[in-house]
Structure 1
Amino acid sequence: MEDRFVTIQEAYKSTGVSRSSIYHHCDNGVFLTKKAKKGTKLVRLRDVEAYSNTFGFGDAVDQKVMLLREEVEEKISKVEEEMEATSNLVNEFIAIAQLYDPKLSDPLFKELKNKGEGYKTILSAAVSELTFTSWDDNKINVWATLMKSITEVDLQRMLEVGLQNPWVPLLKLNLSMASFLSSKPSFHQSLVAKNLSTKLDTGRRNIRSAIALINMANRKSNTYAKRMSQLLVETRTIGDAMDDFVIHHYKDNSLRALF
């Protein structure tokens, strides 16, 4: 039996396979082609039919398109919900921060608010604006208020960002959360369990460092936290700062087991 060659349009109407797919497979040599007398590209119909039968086109096309559209719409909806939650967090931070430092009003936070950026950007920017060169009461109060205004789920996501990016200034957040975490023992313990098993060694060491700082702050005084903040600014990484702190400024050698 002689092979039947038809135009791309005819193959599309007959099988339901999209014209773009037919062109693509013609160019790749999957479908056999030839040219008509006037130069029109023709495709072997049985190749397109076999492709249609294998991958379920034809009558199923409309159903697939509908399912795909529903999936896309669901994803868009989730993104919109997350952006709204993120935007609320930005607004909350702006309101809190401006109570203590009116200079934090623009343009950085307005830009974040308009873009609805994610936790990483928000908190990196926030930490950069509230650099702990000194732990004055205003800055401590800003963070304390912020910590009380967000949920533990929010906090967990922030910490996960810090674990994934252990070199960014966001890790300073771990230090500023000391009093907040120590006031929630159950959450503190789950955090320890989660991060002791993580594969990110650098991130794990940083979280352990923050936990060690919490323990020291509970047993001693805020002097340790103040000294930690100074070392953090000097060394740029919380892990190195904790090493320096433990070795040179804290006499309890048992703490070294944390690192």
Structure 2
Amino acid sequence: IAGVGVTLLVSAAFAAQFSSRSGSKFLKELDPMPAVTFADKTGVTYVSARQVARLFNHHVEFDRETKTLTLGDKQFDCDRTLYNGSTLIPIRRLVDCGAELDTASEPGKMLVTTEVGRFEVIPGEKMIDVDQSTQQLKGYQGNLVVISTPVSTGRAGHRTPNGSFRTGPYKSKMHYSKLYNNAPMPYSIQVVGNVFLHGFSSVPKYPASHGCIRVPNGRHSAAKFLYGWAESGVDVKIHGSWKPSRATKS
């Protein structure tokens, strides 16, 4: 739901599916709803505004200029999206739509009850996947792709190591390289040793770094998003091998 004044009308088929349940004591067990958390917004769990709209049979509109989300007759400030622009809403806002939340059942799990049924909200484990054969990075929370972006890994003589790692312990909004003349490395997340995920202005479609993983840091900064989403301790999988014949100038 990107753009100004984009409207989603929940399908009549979905509404009809649950209309017979309304007012009944029987609660349908619904599928769990994927959830997203952010390292720089601790204690807040987000879910898809689109899925919430379907659940409550509401229109949903998002004004990108004012960052305001309108859900039915309710209006919320919207400060979070997935990297692709899909709008998120804090799970606690479901109370304003008539839902009941139970956070005491199990640590990290929330049970949401509505007039059409109940479902669990469980934030999945985070994982960052870097494919050196395609120069692509994907960040997952459970099965949900939170971010997908091109990257540039280490060039010949400075290869980025393949393997399984964990982010951290070092993380900094602005790090300066001790190996390469204090070169600025915004939104740095340590992967292993001197290998970092970090923002960079030049991210060609082929390996070009000294071993780090360059992440785009332009107007729509993937590096900033990744930094705000990933805590220390997130699994990082680096795999694949770039084939020189695939190199193209950007």
TM-score bracket for this pair, using the shorter chain length: under 0.3
TM-score, length-normalised on structure 2? 0.22
| Structure with max Cα Rg | 1
The one of the two structures with greater contact order (alpha-carbon pairs below 8 A, sep at least 6) is 2
Choose between structure 1 and 2: higher helix proportion.
Answer: 1
Which of the two has greater strand per residue?
A: 2
